[in-house]
Chains A and B, each alone.
Chain A
């Protein structure tokens, strides 16, 4: 059907088209430059520049063998760099490179169409990396350029500006239907096939803790999750968001270790429940975060013996869940002896000074609670410093920290505290997670950032179960009560916003975050669950797949009909002469009175006939007819004649 014509050849040869296509490839490729290998970015830039120069100077395209050689070389380079040609990174790299190469092989209208399709496809791949509002805006800015270039293929005679306007109009007209499809298109949960591991970015808390791992995280102000409380939010110092629990210590690094047999988690003496909704950013890990101690969760998950929440699969898309926690509790008052044994083990023959100190406490003090208090008092009394940039520690990391450097971040305190407890015979473990959160009063929710990452300790006391002890609070109470910035000396390099900036900056930041949150909740997090909830709220109760499909089809049909009406309206608006319109209105009035003007009947003949049939209106008929003739055929039109005729027609009654 689309046979090539002579015009096609003319269009393909035009430098305008080449510039347009090069601009499209550049626009969709440039934002990828950050993730592409540097040599690929450079090669693509060179290829685009070369093509633009060829178009500008009118030199023939390079021979096929040369292009083939570059293509094979590029593919080999990508293969060597990524060890595969598939997967996200390698695939995107290959696509961008192929698009740039295809431009050098532009020989027919088909090639140009292919390039346009390729540009659309590369545009989608940006969403692997980011789906933020700026990315969406960028997409909206690039699309008109692509469509305008596409229009060039059909009509190269139109100037670019005109095509751009047409493209923008087309896109604007497409938006309503897009929205309907977006809302009603049935969302299929989960991936259709196994995804390569590189499909998702991962950042955030790990299930290993070594000196420096949390302080590194504190430099990031990326959002970990957001929380909306159902009732009154708890106080800041109560907000311990529980994450991975670490049991095993090798002298430097804490890990979860092997769990062995354990009793199921048991909570007693519960305080009032707190209900809240968490929107967790994808972190590519299994665990979920909840306030200590979680009792219920709205998504399927396991509560482990040490009160960690494990999702059924790795969280690689933004996840929303409702949770109920009890801030007052007794956790596992009866604990499995094997687990208590685990909570006492320390690596042998390291950190002898710390062991000695613990042994002294154990000998002199009665009861485990006294030992805990002694350790906290020790941290408080000695000149310990809370800092993001602690000095390096040697092999005996606990000894070095406790007796030499005395400068550390929360992981140092948690680690050495648990070590001391274990050495003194008190079962203890490290808990990591986030502490605190920042209230966005515009959105009415809390933002928990990576910089809120925290580590604390839990000790098991007879009759009380696992009790949270936060040694950091002993050295820097402000960390727990008002956040990181308050607890560090002024010169520490923290994320810009972690410091207290000007109020307007803070407001701006909260506004932006509230917007981003809304965007995340409604646009990016629009999944099966939310879709059903939304449709139910819209009055489509008990929405089923079938009903949804019917709704979608109905909505689509309705909107297409509307679009057709709007688009085709201009085809039929021929009578733009206002005088004629008024005259036709007058004729319709007469027709309602039983006097219809025949198709062939002139205005004057009709007036004569109408006057004969309605002698009582003869004067008005003659008046309107003469006004019409004067307006339409008269050589000179007086100003005000048209409004006068309008009044006359309006006043006319049969």
Chain B
């Protein structure tokens, strides 16, 4: 009975629910409670007051009241430090399971007050601190460990501050509809399947390096030899050289070709193969039970294959 009531009260108070778009921190969304340090300070003040009364110290009264008022004011400061902030969820780039998803949130401060020492805490309890200057916006990246493939929700985040003196803890819950795609964790390096499609011209996999074909963005798993160091030196970011040698060769990455093993392991191996095939700029297709991706190449194709692997399974919802 009481637990049910508490639950109801919490639902009414915190209004859990996923939100889209921008959230403005209004009075209704900000909660404040004293911290343990704050309660300790009240204890110190009471001790002082007792001394003042006992020894009749007029100035002691003045100092005690001054400190007490100061403490009370910091509650307003804590509220003010968060109020009227505008928060938007940004795009989160896909990651591999085992890595950390970087959720991006944009905090915009339209007021003329700088905001100090805000903390954004994920569901795993880890938090990062940042400031938002007056009339400016700040992008905050919250790393969230991606443990399982599929969609990773940002979860219920806590934005909190103890500014200025740590006596009060002001917080607000943020739950955005933003999510991050988590690819299966690629298995350990493993040779690519030898079975090339029937129309494949070559019979072996050659790390072609004859014809330079172009550059593409670096993705996790790319061979180090293919990193375009010159491009990096030109500050064009980490890029990988692509070669056209394997043009025309086709590789079928087929679920059915793998021996009997756990579905997750299979997905891991397939992910590894997709990465390797992409690194070697092969023409490859992916065949999963119920899904078939025609052979292709390039970053787009790679992403599509990995996405199919990430979302594979009956219980995974399709976008």
Contact = CB atoms under 8 A, between A and B. Distances in A.
A182 B72 contact: no
B218 interface: no
Interface in A567-603: 567-568, 570-574, 576
A178 B58 contact: no
B112 A573 contact: yes
Interface stretch (A59-67, A115-123, A292-300): A115-123
Interface in B57-87: 57-70, 72-74, 76-77, 79-80, 83-84
B116 A560 contact: no
A171 B67 CA distance: 8
Interface in A1-52: 1-3, 5, 7
A327 interface: no
Interface in A148-188: 150-151, 153-155, 157-158, 166, 170-171, 173-175, 177-178, 181-182, 185, 188
Interface stretch (B47-55, B90-98, B172-180, B298-306): B47-55
B50 A170 contact: no
Interface in A259-281: none
A523 interface: yes
A572 B67 contact: no
Contacts of B163: 154-155
A188 B61 CA distance: 12
B133 to A, nearest CB: 12
Interface string B193-215: 00000000000000000000000
A576 B112 contact: yes
Nearest to B166: A154
Contacts of A643: none
Interface of B: 33, 35-37, 40-41, 44, 47-48, 50-70, 72-74, 76-77, 79-80, 83-84, 110-113, 116-117, 119, 125, 127, 129, 131, 162-166, 169
Given A170-B164, A174-B66, A571 B59 contact: no
Contacts of B166: 2, 109, 113, 150, 153-154
Nearest to B70: A174
Contacts of B53: 188, 192
Interface stretch (A127-135, A330-338, A367-375): A127-135
B57 to A, nearest CB: 4
A147 B71 CA distance: 11
Nearest to B160: A1
A446 interface: no
B103 to A, nearest CB: 19
8 contacts: A1-B169, A120-B63, A121-B44, A124-B52, A155-B163, A192-B50, A199-B55, A570-B111
Given A131-B59, A195-B54, A568-B83, A177 B69 contact: yes
A178 B62 contact: yes
B276 to A, nearest CB: 37
Contact of B54 (A5, A110, A153, A192): A192
Contacts of B41: 117
A128 B65 contact: no
Contacts of A136: 59, 62
Given A567-B80, A568-B80, A182 B61 contact: yes
Contacts, number: 155
Interface stretch (A241-249, A391-399, A459-467, A524-532): A524-532
A358 to B, nearest CB: 50
Contact of A155 (B54, B59, B117, B169): B117
B61 A527 contact: no
Contacts of B113: 570-571
B59 A195 contact: no
Contact of A5 (B77, B80, B127): B127
A80 interface: no
A143 interface: yes
A121 B48 CA distance: 7
Contact of A124 (B64, B68, B119, B169): B64
Contact of A131 (B44, B57, B69): B57
Nearest to B66: A178
A171 B70 contact: yes
Interface of A: 1-3, 5, 7, 109-110, 113, 117, 120-121, 123-124, 127-128, 131, 135-136, 139, 143, 147, 150-151, 153-155, 157-158, 166, 170-171, 173-175, 177-178, 181-182, 185, 188, 191-193, 195, 199, 317, 523-527, 560, 563-564, 567-568, 570-574, 576
B12 to A, nearest CB: 22
B126 to A, nearest CB: 9
A189 to B, nearest CB: 8
B35 A177 contact: no
B76 to A, nearest CB: 5
Nearest to A200: B55
Contact of A173 (B36, B56, B73, B131): B73
Nearest to A566: B76
Nearest to B161: A154
Contact of B117 (A154, A177, A185, A199): A154
Interface centre among B54, B74, B169 (most CB of A within 10 A): B54
B44 A117 contact: yes
A633 B83 CA distance: 30
Contacts of A199: 55
A576 B134 CA distance: 13
A242 B76 CA distance: 57
B70 A147 contact: yes
Contacts of A574: 110-111
A110 B35 CA distance: 12
Contacts of A191: 54-56
Contacts of B74: 170
B37 A113 contact: yes
Interface centre among B47, B56, B113, B164 (most CB of A within 10 A): B56
B54 A154 contact: no
Contacts of B36: 1-2
A143 B62 CA distance: 13
